[in-house]
Chain A
Amino acid sequence: MSEIILSVEHVTKKFPVSGGRFLTACDDISFNVRKGETVAVVGESGCGKTTLLKAIMNMQKPTSGKIIFHGEDITQLTGEAKRQNYRRIQMVFQDPTAAFNPKMKIRDIVCEPLLNFDLISTSDVDSKARELLTQVDLPADFVDRYPNNMSGGQRQRVAIARALALEPEIIACDEATSALDVSVQDTIIKLLVKLQREKGITYIFICHDMALVSLFSHRVAVMYLGNMMEKLDGDKLDAARHPYTRALLKAVFSTDQEKNQYIGILPGDIPSPLNIPSGCPFQNRCEYCQERCQKEKPSFVEVEPNHFVACHYPL
């Protein structure tokens, strides 16, 4: 197994809301990311996955906890050191239309990060932009286009090219394929995997689709109401032991009629993150809930090598 490149240690993020209360978006999250691997963070809306990503991107300071990257806690960086750190972790957003300035040409969009860090001179912009576009399998003469002259999939490739420009060690993708059609989604995933093989990039991939995640992630972390519920290898999703992970897996509709017979419906809604029940956060939707689950919050324990579950009674 490769070395640990980034480790998230006990990160908690609380947002103040009216009435002196706090909304807990991330509650004591810890995990490691290994070099050249894809870690997928899966969960439904409001589970805190984007807040976690923003903390890793150093866009939001966590309330407590550390994020260790190359031996230093990046949440404590300030000024120029913080700016330089952005070079090493880049991001691809969900909506490629909203991620660009519509009045900039593709050439300027993909080279802007390089100019920001004085890595190339303005006379090299054209050739560098062409090189970057070729890396993401786009025709080099797209440099003269504007973002609105391209399809969604092509725009997402430009977003990936821009993230690659600074040759980062980690690329964080926030629902990077959710806005795309299924066949385009497939080609984008293949591209990400190809780039990972060539350059050894590490991905942190935020997603709500278990089936998509199963295609290409080495590790899958499942979040619910700000808590990490389970973490396991991407090729061993069948061995999931947390009732919530099982429910997520069972909620995926397949083109295979036989698999569709096992569709399971999880009753109820996610409770408000403003009043998370004491004890297990999943207790009111869990069919295996027992008395202990209502009183005591389960800790995140390793049940098998590399398989962590936060449940008193794992399945």
Chain B
Amino acid sequence: MLLDVKNLAVSYGKNPKPTIAGVSFDLNDGEILAIVGESGSGKTTVIRAILNVLPGGGRVSEGSMVFDGKNLLELDAAGWRNLRGKNISMIFQDSGNMMNPVHTIGKQFVEYIQVHSDLDKKSARAMAIEKLELMNLPNPENILNSYTFELSGGMRQRVGIAMAITFQPKLLLADEPTSALDVTTQAQIVGELMFITRGSGAAMIIVTHNIGVASYLADNLMVMSGGRVVEYGKTDDVINRPQADYTKTLLASVPEIGGRRYV
């Protein structure tokens, strides 16, 4: 088992009531878990807790998280440095925002590689180019010399994914990776995520509000609402035989082509 999360609860500041509570799931190598829910349901908090990057005074107040045999709650700063970006890496909603707009993409990509390895600049750059090519990006040299705002949303997202998979992490965390994209670009990126994870055997947790994307990608599906897990199981079971009323309502409100019509 790659990741085992048991009874996770996260609290903020002095608020005694936890923001999320009772979240348990496990993930094997190469498995994809999708967490779906509406805004404010706590789905992003779950993956932020796994990476220990909770914002402003957030902390894990209960439960346990074990990744690859290591207890994540007992790691020190050096331990986290070794884990983040190398064994677990994150794909953000808009990869353009995660990078510094006043430096070229190449500078930041090379810096990232050098922090986590002892490659020299030249071979780090060659490695960056190799990863960009893997993401079907034309002219990787050009991209390394560009600034984030010079690329389209789809290209920026590909760069973000290329960076995330650089060290062949065992676990990818994707936070709404396609929500800022157009529909045709979304289909491209979802296709590439599928290809990357299935090809390299990496496990992935994808947080999304698009239930269609979740059911296309994921082996297991977790539905969250109000900081609690409403339903968790095999994607096929959750989609086709939902048990909780909340899941049923949620699924019924997803628009489908050729489905219901109001006029």
Residues of A within 8 A of B (CB): 38, 44-45, 152, 181-186, 189-190, 193, 196, 208-212, 214-218, 234-235, 237-238, 247-257, 259-260, 263-267, 269
Encoded as 1 (CB less than 8 Å from any A CB) or 0, chain B from 154 to 184 comes to: 1100000000000000000000000000111
Task: Name the residue of chain A whose CB is nearest to the CB of B36.
Answer: A182
Which residues from chain B contact A251 at a C-beta distance below 8 Å? 183-184, 186-187
What are 27 A-B residue pairs whose CB atoms fall within 8 Å in the complex? A45-B182, A182-B254, A182-B255, A186-B255, A193-B262, A196-B263, A209-B183, A214-B255, A215-B255, A215-B259, A234-B263, A235-B261, A237-B258, A247-B184, A251-B183, A251-B184, A252-B212, A253-B212, A253-B215, A254-B215, A255-B211, A260-B212, A263-B216, A265-B191, A266-B184, A266-B188, A269-B185
CA distance A45 to B210 in the complex (A): 19
Task: Name the residue of chain A whose CB is nearest to the CB of B192.
Answer: A265
Which residues from chain B contact A255 at a C-beta distance below 8 Å? 211-212, 215, 239, 251, 254, 256
Task: Name the residue of chain B whose CB is nearest to the CB of A179.
Answer: B39
CA distance A212 to B254 in the complex (A): 8
Task: Name the residue of chain A whose CB is nearest to the CB of B186.
Answer: A251
Task: Name the residue of chain B whose CB is nearest to the CB of A36.
Answer: B263
Q: A190-B262, A256-B256 are in contact. Are A265 and B215 (CB under 8 A)?
A: no
Instruction: Tell me if A214 and B259 are in contact (CB < 8 A).
Output: yes
CA distance A248 to B261 in the complex (A): 19
Q: Which residues of B, 227-263, contact A by the 8 Å Cβ criterion?
A: 236, 239, 249-251, 253-263
* Contact-residue size bin, chain B (C-beta under 8 Å from the other chain): 35 or more
Nearest CB of chain A from residue B8's CB, rounded to whole Å: 23
User: At the interface, yes or no: B152 with Cβ under 8 Å from chain A?
Assistant: yes
Instruction: Tell me if B154 and A260 are in contact (CB < 8 A).
Output: no
Q: A182-B211, A186-B253 are in contact. Are A210 and B183 (CB under 8 A)?
A: yes
Q: A181-B39, A214-B261, A269-B155 are in contact. Are A253 and B182 (CB under 8 A)?
A: no
Nearest CB of chain A from residue B202's CB, rounded to whole Å: 21
Q: Which residues of B, 70-93, contact A by the 8 Å Cβ criterion?
A: none
Task: Name the residue of chain B whose CB is nearest to the CB of A190.
Answer: B262
User: At the interface, yes or no: B38 with Cβ under 8 Å from chain A?
Assistant: yes
User: At the interface, yes or no: B190 with Cβ under 8 Å from chain A?
Assistant: yes
Which of B38, B155, B183, B216 is the most central at the interface, judged by chain A CB atoms within 10 Å of its CB? B183
Instruction: Tell me if B38 and A182 are in contact (CB < 8 A).
Output: yes
User: At the interface, yes or no: B2 with Cβ under 8 Å from chain A?
Assistant: no
Within 8 Å by CB of A249, from B155, B236, B257, lies: B257
Task: Name the residue of chain B whose CB is nearest to the CB of A152.
Answer: B39
Q: A218-B263, A265-B191 are in contact. Are A182 and B257 (CB under 8 A)?
A: no
CA distance A257 to B261 in the complex (A): 21
Q: A190-B262, A214-B261, A218-B263 are in contact. Are A182 and B256 (CB under 8 A)?
A: no
Nearest CB of chain B from residue A274's CB, rounded to whole Å: 14
Task: Name the residue of chain B whose CB is nearest to the CB of A261.
Answer: B216
User: At the interface, yes or no: B209 with Cβ under 8 Å from chain A?
Assistant: yes
Which residues from chain A contact B215 at a C-beta distance below 8 Å? 253-255, 257, 260
CA distance A217 to B260 in the complex (A): 12
Which residues from chain B contact A211 at a C-beta distance below 8 Å? 254-257, 259
Instruction: Tell me if B263 and A38 are in contact (CB < 8 A).
Output: yes
Which residues from chain A contact B209 at a C-beta distance below 8 Å? 181-182
CA distance A234 to B184 in the complex (A): 20
User: At the interface, yes or no: B196 with Cβ under 8 Å from chain A?
Assistant: no
Q: Which residues of B, 207-230, contact A by the 8 Å Cβ criterion?
A: 209-213, 215-216
Which residues from chain B contact A235 at a C-beta distance below 8 Å? 261
CA distance A216 to B159 in the complex (A): 37
CA distance A234 to B260 in the complex (A): 12
CA distance A116 to B34 in the complex (A): 49
Which of A183, A249, A250 is the most central at the interface, judged by chain B CB atoms within 10 Å of its CB? A183
Within 8 Å by CB of A253, from B154, B188, B213, B253, lies: B213
